Amino acid sequence: MKNLRASFFLPDPPEAIELRAFTHGLMPKTVPAMMNHFVEDWQRYGVDAWNAVPNHWRPGSGDDVGWWALPVYLGDHFIAPLVGALPGTCIMQPHVHWTVQCLLSVPEVFAGKGEVVLTGAEFPSVLHSVRQWAGLQGYTVRVIPPASDGFVDQEAVLGAIGAETALVFLSHVGFTTGEKLPDAFLARVAAAVHAHGGLFALDGYHATGSVPVEVTAYDADVYFGGLLKEGCGSSGNAYVYLRPGLDLHPRTTGWFGDADPFGFHAAPAPHPEVRMRFLGGTSAVASMYHAVEGVRLFLEAGLDAVRRHSLDLTGLCIARAEAAGLRLRSPREAERRSAMVILEAPAADKLCAYLKQHHVYTDSRQGRYLRLAPFVWNTPDEVHRAFDLIADTLSSGDYLTVEEPEAAGPVT
C-alpha cells in the first residue's frame, strides 16, 4: 500500500502510538489548508459562496461547486466510490441519528407492516431511535439477542424476517464486538427481507474507510455511516446511500430538501431526487471542508490495499496478544475481522491507563476489555512495540499499581 503514515499528523511525542482509529481518526495533513479555504471563501464570497466557491475538493476537475451543492457533490465524488455506489445515490448527512430519524419517519415503509428487526448491539442512534418511533409509526421492535459466542446470531436474524418486517437494521461492523458481518450473510438478509417487501438498512460506520464496501453486493436499500472514525473526516460528517428506485418521503424533510426551497410556499413539496429529501435545515458548511480528506487518501491508496494492511496488523495484534496470554473477544477469521481488535484483559482500565502513560493509546470497556485498532498510519514495528510493553507489564503486574485510571471517556 502507498505509505499513508506520512499523510497524517501523528500524535506527540514522536514515540507515541495511536491505536484508536475507532474513536476519532487522525487528521490528514491536507485539512488545515482546507479549513483555511473555508475561512477565505466565507471572507471573500460571503453569501455568494452558497452558489459558487473554487473547487477545493476536486481542483482541476472543472466542476462548479457552491455550498448549496456540497452535500450531493461530496456524495457523488467521494462517498459513492467509497461504498461502491453510483452517482446520484449518496448525500452527506450531519450524523447517523438524523438519517435514522428520516428513515423511520417515512410512512410508506410501514404501510401494511408491523415490525422492525434489529440486534441489541446496534448503536444508540439506531436502537434508541427505533424504540422512540415505534409508537408513532405503530410497529413493534424485535431485538435479536447475540449468539452464545457474543456475535450476531445470523440464523436468528434470518428466522425473524417475515411478512410483518418493515425494516431490518444491522451493523456492518459491530461497535462493541468488532465483528464484520460476512457479505454472503448480508446478501441473505437482503433477499429474505425483499421477499416480503421490506427494506434492509446497514449501519456502516466502522466499515467506512477500513473495509471495501459494495452496497450492491449486499443489496442494501439504505447504507449509512460517518467519517469521524476510521473515515478520518472528523465530526459533522455522516452520509447515506439510498438504492436507486427507492421512493421514500421522510416526514422530517426540511426546507433544504424541498423541491422549490426559495419559493417559500405554504406547503412542502418533495424534491424529485430522493436523496435530497434526507436534508433538513441549513447544512453545516465548515465540516464539509474537512469531511473527505481521509476518504481521498483511502480512494487513492485503494480500499483493498487499506484492508490488506489492516488485516496484516490486526493479525499481528492477535498473535502477540495471545502469546501474552490475552483472550481475543473480536472475531479471528479475516473475513469477519474489522479494524478493531478487542481483548479480554484483567483490570483492562488500569492496563489502558498504564499504556497511555507510556504513550500507547488504546481504550478499555467495563474494566474487562482492551480495544485497539491498528490503522493506516500504524506500522508492524509499532504493533510490536505496543505489545512488548503490554507483555512486560502483564508479567510484572506494574500496571496494577496505576492510580485512579480515568473513567472511560467520551469515546465510542
Ligand X SMILES: Cc1ncc(COP(=O)(O)O)c(C=O)c1O
Q: Give me the residues that bind ligand X (CB under 6 A), please.
A: 95-97, 123, 125, 171, 175, 203, 205-206, 226, 238, 412
Extended strands (E) in 308-351 = 327-328, 341-344
CA distance 65 to 80: 17
Judged by CB, which is closer to ligand X: 154, or 338? 338
Q: Which is nearer to ligand X, 205 or 399 (CB)?
A: 205
CB closer to ligand X, 128 vs 384:
128
Cβ 398 to ligand X, closest distance in Å?
Answer: 32
Judge whether 154 and 168 are in contact, CB under 8 Å. no
Closer residue to ligand X in complex, CB, 53/116: 116
* Closest CB 175 distance from ligand X, rounded Å: 4
Q: How far apart are CA 383 and CA 376, in angstroms?
A: 12
User: Smallest gap, in angstroms, from Cβ of residue 106 to ligand X?
Assistant: 18
Residue closer to ligand X, measured from CB, 212 or 270: 212
How far from chain centre, in Å, is Cα 67? 24
The distance of closest approach from Cβ of residue 118 to ligand X in the complex, given in angstroms and rounded to an integer, is: 12
Nearest approach in angstroms of CB 363 to ligand X is 12
Nearer to ligand X, 292 or 326 (CB): 292
Minimum CB separation of residue 209 from ligand X in Å reads 13
- DSSP secondary structure string, 184-220? HHHHHHHHHHHHTT-EEEEE-TTTTTTS---HHHHT-
CB of 121 to ligand X, least distance (A): 9
Minimum CB distance to ligand X smaller for 223 or for 387: 223
Tell me the backbone φ, ψ of residue 91, rounded to 5 degrees: -150, 150
Angstrom distances, CA of residue 211 to CA of 141, 142, 304? 29, 28, 7
Give the span between the Cα atoms of 272 and 252, in whole angstroms. 16
Conformation bin of residue 367: beta by default, left when phi > 0, alpha when psi is -120 to 50: left
**Alpha-carbon span 211 to 314, nearest angstrom:** 13
Q: What is d(CA 210, CA 198) in angstroms, rounded to the nearest whole number?
A: 29
